[in-house]
Amino acid sequence: MDRLAQAFARARQEKRAAFVAYLCAGDPDLNTSLAACLAVIDAGADILELGVPFSDPLADGLTNQLAAQRALESGMTAARVFELVRLIRAKSQVPLVFYTYYNLVFSNGVENYVRTAKAAGVDGMLTLDLPPEEAGEVLAAGRTHDLKTVFIVAPTTPAERLPRIGAAATGFIYYVSREGVTGVRDQMAANIPEAVARIRQHTSLPVVVGFGISTPAQVQEVARAADGVVVGSALVNVIRDNLDNRAVLPGRLRSRAAELVAGVR
């Protein structure tokens, strides 16, 4: 099995959901970002979702927009994102999934981008603004280089599109639990178990849930229904809050991540 499949299989064997941690690559700089990634892995994250910094992150709320801005201002480029992946991979075999936008893939050449990502150590790619109907090149390159594809389902996704999305994905399905953008929320979205059950009718792949999950209690609640739980903004906020003392940032991030990981265990 590939690393992603192994991570979900291990979680199932332990009768729990997988914990997926999101961080923006290069936030606030390459070296600190590496330490941050290793900290959440050390805290028990099963999968690391790396946001590829982009100037127009349409699916992201303010927290992750500012993280991308910090990364870009520190000099992150496509080449440096791949460098970060290689540095993480030298220390860990935790699955890595790119959270990206199609312009970043297309502008570097789809075949070239997917090949380079796989060679660096990326296991899967979620391209937020690329629907499966338009994803022919990415799907073909993913098959050629064994880079798993991830597609999203939203609360507004028509039922008739679920079979197409299920057929296109090869890594997992990402259920966006609420309309709008990423960010910390006080209350969970309604009907998550019902939405996950509907998606499972059209795929045998794991279904993970993200957007707005930010406390251990929320993680625990979603973990009862989903195969994986994604937490992003609550972790990125730790980086934001410790920009003036980057030496303590990894330790504080490790502590926060461990609290959240406990929700799936």
Tokens, residue 183: 């960010």
Angle between helices 249-261 and 233-241 (to 10 degrees): 160
Instruction: From residue 33, give the alpha-carbon distance in Å to each of 43, 72, 132, 166, 236.
Output: 15, 12, 31, 33, 11
Q: From the candidates 2, 27, 46, 49, give the one annotated as an active-site residue.
A: 49
Q: Reduced to 3 states, what is the DSSP secondary structure of residue 226?
A: coil
Helix H or strand E encompassing 124: strand 124-127
Active site residue 60: yes
41, 254 in Cβ contact below 8 A?
no
Spatial CA neighbour of 152 closest among 111, 67, 211, 85: 211
Backbone angles phi, psi at 7, to 5 degrees: -65, -45
Q: From the candidates 27, 60, 221, 227, give the one annotated as an active-site residue.
A: 60
239, 251 in Cβ contact below 8 A?
no
Q: Which residues are catalytic?
A: 49, 60
